[in-house]
Amino acid sequence: MTIQDAAAQRRIVNRLRRARGQLDAVIAAVETGKSCRDVVTQLSAVSSALDRAGFAVVATAMKDCVADPERAAADEDGLTTEELEKLFLTLA
C-alpha cells in the first residue's frame, strides 16, 4: 500500500514528526533526571502519536480500498480486507 492522497500523507508525516519530537523529550527527561511522572507523561504522548499515525495509515488504506478496489488489489502490497483488519487490530 502506498499513500496516494497527498493531504493524508502530510498528516501522517506530521504525526510521526510530532512523535519524534516527543521521543526526544523523553530522552532528554531521562538524561536530565526528570521525575518518573514527567517521563511517563512524555512516553504516553509518544505512544498516542504513534498510534494515531498508525490508525491514519490503516484508515487511508481502507478508504483507498473502498474508493477503488481494483487499484487497491493491484497495488504492490495487495492488501486484502482481512489483512487491513489484522493491521488495524495490531494497533488496538
CATH of the domain at 78: 1.20.58.1000
Contact 72, 64 (CB under 8 A): yes
Please state the φ and ψ torsions of residue 43, each to the nearest 5 degrees: -60, -40
Residue 1: inside a domain: no
pLDDT value for 68? 66
Residue 78: inside a domain: yes
Q: Is the pLDDT of residue 72 over 60?
A: no
C-alpha cell at 32: 536530565
| Tally of structural domains, the chain | 1
Give me the domain span that covers residue 33. 6-91
Region 55-75 average pLDDT: 71
Q: How far apart are CA 37 and CA 51, in angstroms?
A: 21
**Given pLDDT bands bounded at 50, 70 and 90, which one contains residue 75?**
low
Residue 63: inside a domain: yes
